[in-house]
Amino acid sequence: MTQPFLPLTARSREESHRAATPLELFFDLCFVVAVAQAGAELVHAVAENHTGEGILNYAMVFFAIWWAWMNFTWFASAYDNDDVLYRVVTLVQIAGVLVLAAGVSRAFQEHDFLVVYIGYAVMRLALAFQWLRAAHHATDPAERTMCRRYAGGVVAVQIGWLALVLAPEPARGWIFLAMALAELAVPVYAEKDAPSTWHPHHIAERYGLFTIIVLGETVAAATVAVKSGVIENDALGELLPIAVGGLLLVFAAWWIYFVVPAHDRLTSSRQGFLWGYGHYVIFSSAAAVGAGLEIAVEQAVGEAHISTLAASAAVTIPSAVFLFSVWLLHARYFKIGIAQQLVLPVASLAILLCTFAGRWAVLAAGLVAAATVATGVTLTARNPAPRATDA
């Protein structure tokens, strides 16, 4: 039976059998609604040949989604007590991301970020409340200071984001960069004297689950695009290579991400920061693969005002970025010998070169990704990698 109010105290990092809760899974599913909206608007922008503007808006909106998700995830890993108040505040954060999702189209099409800002503010202020609550229940002065730093930093930066709404459009890119750096600095500052007690296995599972959900959204978006192309344009022959290649890319992305025990890299706060922050690239590129597949479908049936080369690049570039960033963040620490180390970087380059394969580009990229998995499995079988704790 869930209690109305319990002390919001730090959980042990050594806690056994720590797993994602149903509330966290629900939280992720609601967040992917915003991811889907951002991807859909990116498709529209690129298809209308507004690529640069679309990518910038996508980067800004996705940062808000990812950062709010990430902050909740690490806080929950350290402090989740599952009482009624904790659940209610988490539901408020979910409401915030749904508001943000409702404002994505307006942000892309009219450059009006007010609704996105309101949704983001709801999420961030709710988290600040949670940090203040944790500070109230903390018995260690250093931990109390850390919690108050988090709360103050979240609120201060949230006020700073108002500039993105009020400033003239040409300045927004620079404002976004400055405020994003300020957001990234808050956890580093807050935990400089006392780190939070996040759980390595729990964090790795949470990131893995969100990766699965984002890849699932990619499959869903691509499936709908192919279905529409077949029904409305009777273009099965043109779309089949894209469908097969896209499926191979997503399967390979899943395999490559989960083939190594990511939690073995999370042995310190410094590694945790680097690993957690780096997932902005992994998550955003994974979601962009789905958008790229939609763009490739629209271009194949004549509904996108871009070249075949540009449509192919919309798939191959995020796919290559995903593979390389997974290698950079954690896969490379589990590879033995030069051959294993080179598999993912070489595959990323090969996928980029597939851009020039014309209408077969997506299929070629998918085959390269499948060959990458097969090569990795073969090399690992010959020379198994040690766990990071044994390296």
> CATH code at 362?
1.20.1410
Query: Is the domain of 343 the same as that of 261?
Result: yes
Sequence-distant contacts of 243-248: CB under 8 A, at least 24 apart: 244/363, 244/366, 245/315, 245/361, 245/362, 245/363, 245/364, 245/365, 245/366, 245/367, 246/222, 246/289, 246/293, 246/296, 246/315, 246/362, 246/366, 247/219, 247/222, 247/366, 248/366, 248/367, 248/369, 248/370
The string of pLDDT tens digits covering residues 128-157 is 999 999 999 999 999 999 999 999 999 999
Query: Is the domain of 118 the same as that of 28?
Result: yes
Helix, strand, coil in percent for the chain, rounding step 5: 80, 0, 20
Query: Is the domain of 136 the same as that of 174?
Result: yes
pLDDT greater at residue 235 or residue 156: 156
Residue 11, domain member (yes or no): no
Q: How far apart are CA 257 and CA 283, in angstroms?
A: 11
Structural domain ending residue among the three candidates 190, 221, 250: 190
- On the question of pLDDT at 391 being above 50, the answer is no
- Nearest CA to 163 out of 179, 149, 148 is that of 179
259 token code pair:
């083939």
Give the list of residues 6+ apart from residue 187 with CB closer than 8 angstroms, or none. 71, 74, 150, 273
What percentage of the chain has pLDDT greater than the value 70? 97
The number of distinct structural domains making up the chain is 2
- On the question of pLDDT at 383 being above 70, the answer is yes
Residue 195, domain member (yes or no): no
Which pLDDT belongs to residue 388? 40
For the chain, give the mean pLDDT.
90
Split at pLDDT 50, 70, 90, the class of 295 is very high
DSSP string, 114-136: HHHHHHHHHHHHHHHHHHHHHHH
Which pLDDT belongs to residue 262? 78
If you search the block for the tokens 């070629």, which residue do you land on?
Answer: 364
What is the pTM assigned to this prediction? Answer: 0.91
Query: Is the domain of 334 the same as that of 370?
Result: yes
- On the question of pLDDT at 94 being above 50, the answer is yes
> 85-99, 227-241, 268-282, 353-367: which has the minimum mean pLDDT?
227-241
Residue 15, domain member (yes or no): no
Structural domain ending residue among the three candidates 190, 209, 242: 190
Full residue range of the structural domain in which residue 52 is found: 22-190
- Nearest CA to 308 out of 243, 249, 354 is that of 354
Separation of CA 380 from chain center: 28
Tally of CB atoms within 10 A around 171? 12
- For the residues 189-213, what does the mean pLDDT come to? 92
Query: Is the domain of 226 the same as that of 143?
Result: no
- Nearest CA to 276 out of 217, 204, 333, 218 is that of 204
- For the residues 180-188, what does the mean pLDDT come to? 95
Structural domain ending residue among the three candidates 190, 208, 233: 190
Query: Is the domain of 180 the same as that of 214?
Result: no
- For the residues 234-252, what does the mean pLDDT come to? 88
Query: Is the domain of 157 the same as that of 253?
Result: no
Split at pLDDT 50, 70, 90, the class of 264 is confident
The string of pLDDT tens digits covering residues 20-39 is 999 999 999 999 999 999 99
Please check whether residue 370 is in contact with residue 252, taking contact to mean a CB–CB distance below 8 angstroms: yes
- Three-class secondary structure of residue 196 per DSSP: coil
Query: Is the domain of 106 the same as that of 163?
Result: yes
Q: How far apart are the first and last CA of the chain?
A: 44
Which pLDDT belongs to residue 386? 52
Please check whether residue 285 is in contact with residue 325, taking contact to mean a CB–CB distance below 8 angstroms: yes
Split at pLDDT 50, 70, 90, the class of 302 is confident
Alpha-carbon Rg of the chain, whole angstroms?
A: 21
Residue 16, domain member (yes or no): no
